[in-house]
Chain A
């Protein structure tokens, strides 16, 4: 069947619904947010239309720079952790028996049904001194006495990695299942140990999939605002936490909007950079 380019206006008909949805639920709210970010804040808790850069200017401070830096660092760290744990896990999973795979996949996907709040409180219990996993280690004789592991950076990282892990597997699994097993066998006959074959063949062949996974988890982690508050100290709060704080508790919509716009721009820039780096390597 030959595909012809649309000729008349009617040919674009099927696009009306998705385009309408996209406009109503994405373009309009985002445009509103951009507009609000230039508005003037009223002390009473509301704002008046204007075109001022005050909100962006206020943002250019060491404090917010640090928060932004930490947010990006945390998102990148979560993305890397997910991929580093996810690839060997999915690789082994894709080579195990069919029914073993199904059990693991169902268990992992059921994590998706948990809300961020439940994940946060579950981990804060697990990391607590009174009911946490350290009690188990004490019982086993591995530790002297129970400790509180939260609030801490590790706690934030663990919970966020846990939350993003099912998505990581969802992206990696199809690619690893399709991976030709004779590629690693060929590498072994050519003198590579199984570990070396994994790093010189499996990882490079999956480069694009890995890049896509990193970007997806990065963006996902960037939007997380509950887990850093539940499990972290104030210095572990991300920009998303501050945006929520400004928008809801401080009633400073223009400033929250400005921060959100800035966050979107920075993450778009990073994603673009990652794509560009990937393209460069491919062209080589």
Chain B
């Protein structure tokens, strides 16, 4: 059994359960994002993988070997901390070479590796600079290079981009993903930013209250969320109550939607419809009717807020298909059963 395997991992702090019975299999060379709101246990889970915290139950296997009780410094991993934790008393080159120096690697080999890594992170010739004089993005790259110096089996990043401004963050996400694909290294990133997770990951693991709610490819997470928490947490969504009428048809806000099915036996559920899947039409003719309450024109996208049956529904359209509506106007809403997902309550 290769790759990283978590088996029923549990972590309790006193009576509080931070991570509850988490099992996850990460094949070699994949990029996994642990995604969730703050306090969901994602950082604790990563710290246990790193060995900085020990689980109170379950096992962690790396490449088939049980590493649950192996101390951090013998796990041969690379980790980037949220604070980056660059050593302020060392230069850029000394920071990157730290793990090699600890392992007693020859000086000239260290130097060659540092130069190689500096070239990789596009900071050639920075070896003798002080880490205190680098910009945020440069510090970020140095932290990544330092973690990768020994070519670890496992690359862990804890909220690595949270200190950067929005533009730089987007650029670093792409760069990090390309770097991971080039090196083929098993990578786990903790983040609360769903855009970041969608950009980089092969597998997104959505966590809440210490448990995994869904682990799947980004598109699947977005298109087929497992429950209303995942649907709401990943991107924007409209959550609408849906119920089955006596004829067995699904009704949303009192209007039957053709082709929509509830799971067998269920009479109630929640319908998740992405704003870009909400179609605005003329009222009547089988459409849900509502009133436009607000229009937000963001340039790249237009959000139309519609109130229907006491629910607020958001529809997003591109400027090319700008809906011909104005605030206060009566409109019809059509839901496509293909793009709507019925979730258990």
CB within 8 Å of B: which residues of A? Answer: 180, 182-183, 185-194, 196-197, 200-201, 204-205, 207
Contacts and interface: CB of A to CB of B under 8 A. Distances in A.
Contacts of A192: 73, 98, 102
A183 B99 contact: no
A196 B98 CA distance: 12
B54 interface: no
B102 A188 contact: no
Contacts, number: 70
8 contacts: A182-B83, A186-B85, A188-B52, A189-B78, A191-B76, A201-B87, A201-B89, A207-B89
Interface string B79-90: 101110101111
Residue from the set A186, A190, A201 with the largest chain B CB neighbour count within 10 Å: A190
Given A180-B85, A185-B52, A204-B90, 19 more contacts: A185-B72, A185-B81, A186-B79, A186-B85, A187-B98, A188-B51, A188-B52, A188-B73, A189-B77, A189-B78, A190-B102, A190-B149, A191-B74, A191-B76, A191-B103, A197-B73, A201-B87, A201-B89, A204-B89
Nearest to A204: B89
B133 to A, nearest CB: 14
Overall SS of chain B's interface: loop
A189 to B, nearest CB: 4
A182 B80 CA distance: 10
Interface residues of B, number: 29
Contacts of A201: 87, 89
Contacts of A190: 73, 78, 98-99, 102, 146-147, 149-150
B50 interface: yes
Nearest to A193: B73
A188 B87 contact: no
Given A180-B83, A189-B72, A205 B103 contact: no
B71 to A, nearest CB: 8
B108 to A, nearest CB: 20
Contacts of B147: 189-190
Interface of B: 50-52, 71-79, 81-83, 85, 87-90, 98-99, 102-103, 146-147, 149-150, 156
A182 B103 contact: no
A205 B89 CA distance: 6
Contacts of B76: 191
B130 to A, nearest CB: 10
A183 B89 CA distance: 11
What 5 pairs between A and B have smallest CB-CB spacing?
A: A186-B85, A190-B99, A189-B79, A182-B85, A188-B72
B117 to A, nearest CB: 13
Contacts of A185: 52, 72, 81, 85
Name the residue in B75, B77, B79 with the highest tally of chain A Cβ atoms < 10 Å from its Cβ: B79
Give the one of B71, B75, B87, B147 with max A CB within 10 A: B87
A183 B87 contact: yes
A196 B85 contact: no
A231 to B, nearest CB: 39
Contacts of A207: 89
A186 B85 CA distance: 6
Contacts of A196: 73, 102
B50 A189 contact: yes
Contacts of B81: 182, 185-186
A188 B51 CA distance: 9
Kindly name the residue among B74, B75, B89, B149 whose own CB sees the greatest number of chain A CB atoms within 10 A: B89
Given A185-B81, A189-B50, A189-B77, A205 B98 contact: no
B100 to A, nearest CB: 9
Contacts of A200: 98, 102
A276 to B, nearest CB: 19
Contacts of B87: 183, 186-187, 201, 204-205
B340 to A, nearest CB: 44
A204 B81 CA distance: 20
B102 A191 contact: yes
A180 B102 CA distance: 20
B52 A191 contact: no
